Every structure is written in C-alpha cells, then in structure tokens.
Amino acid sequence: MAIFPIRTFGDPVLRAKAEPVDPIDERVRRLVEDMIETMYDAPGVGLAAPQIGVSKQVFVFDAGEGPKVVINPMLVETSGEWEFEEGCLSVPGYFWPIRRAAFARVTGWDEHGREVEYAGDELLGRVLQHEYDHLQGMLLLERLAPDVRKEALRHLRERTLGLGS
C-alpha cells in the first residue's frame, strides 16, 4: 500500500471524464488499497481515482461505517435539495455552501466484482454525489452559483500562479 500525493485544482486529470474499469483485477484492487490509505491519511471522507492521477471510474469513501468502494458507479436516483458547506481535498483550504440533491442512490461494483448499492441523505448522499462528480471531471466549483464561482476561480488562479496569498 502507498500514500499518493493528491492532485489539486489546475491539474488536467481532474477535468477529464474517467475511463470505465474492465476487468476488475488485481491491479484495481491495489489501486483501491492505495486510495483508501491516501483518503485516511489526508484525511478525507471520500477520494476519487483522478485525485491521485488515475483517470479510472473508481471512488472510495467512509461516511462513518468503514471504507467503501464503488467502481463504474451509476447515479441512479436523486431527490430533494440541500445546501451544505462542502470542501474538497483537491481544492484544499476552501469551503463553500453547495446546493445538491438531499438524497442520492449509487450502484456499481466493489473491488471483487460484486454489485454494490449505496443510498442515503445527509453526509452519505453528499459524498456519493461529490465523488461521482469527480469521475465526470467535475469539481465542486462547478456547483457554485455563477457569481460565487467567478470569485472563487479568480482567487484560486491567483493562488496557483503565486500572485495571491
């Protein structure tokens, strides 16, 4: 197992749609182990493969019941609406109120090729949607209201270029 550096805003891997995983083999199981270790080390409640530079459809999370793995996830159901303060390991140091569905259901496969399904509201629903977005090449910035997003991007670009504080 290994801890990987987490890619941050500005890295193109975070903007790419991740590739489906096939087959689910030993390589994928090693990737999942590394992702879980990296997530706990960060620490974070979720991590998507592109965040360690691997453009594959895999995410891991721990919403309080131990580490869970979803490969080739499908977001099959959402309902309601909930605004909540949200951050991302790839945009460290920032939190914004983000509006998302209150409830989400995701299906997919685990690292042994077994079908899995996770559904819930509050933290679990939020993490499922956030990590699913990562695999579509989408950061939480794209969920911000246009004016808030513009200001956030200006701030981040300045910081990335070393012009801001």
Q: Residue 88 interacts with Ni ion (CB under 5 A)?
A: yes
In angstroms, the CA 164 to CA 162 distance is 6
Please, which of residues 106-125 interact with Ni ion by CB under 5 A? none
Backbone angles phi, psi at 80, to 5 degrees: 70, -170
Q: Which residue lies nearest Ni ion, judged by its C-beta?
A: 88
Structure tokens at 126: 């939020």
DSSP string, 63-105: SSSS-EEEEEEEEEEEES-EEEEE--TTSTT--EEEEE-SEEE
CA-to-CA separations, 106 to 24, 59, 66, 151, in angstroms, rounded: 18, 11, 17, 32
Q: Of the ranges 20-28, 88-96, 104-112, 115-123, which one interacts with Ni ion (CB under 5 A)?
A: 88-96
> In whole angstroms, how close is the CB of 32 to Ni ion at the nearest point?
17
Q: Residue 49 interacts with Ni ion (CB under 5 A)?
A: no
- HEC secondary structure over 119-157: EEEHHHHHHHHHHHHHHCCCCHHHHCCHHHHHHHHHHHH
> In whole angstroms, how close is the CB of 114 to Ni ion at the nearest point?
25
**Looking at beta carbons only, is 24 or 88 nearer to Ni ion?**
88
> In whole angstroms, how close is the CB of 89 to Ni ion at the nearest point?
6
Residue 111 annotated to the active site: no
**Looking at beta carbons only, is 59 or 109 nearer to Ni ion?**
59
> In whole angstroms, how close is the CB of 61 to Ni ion at the nearest point?
10
Residues contacting Ni ion: total by CB under 5 A: 1
Q: Which of 33, 65, 83, 131 is catalytic?
A: 131
Active site residues: 131
Site residues (CB under 5 A) for Ni ion?
Answer: 88
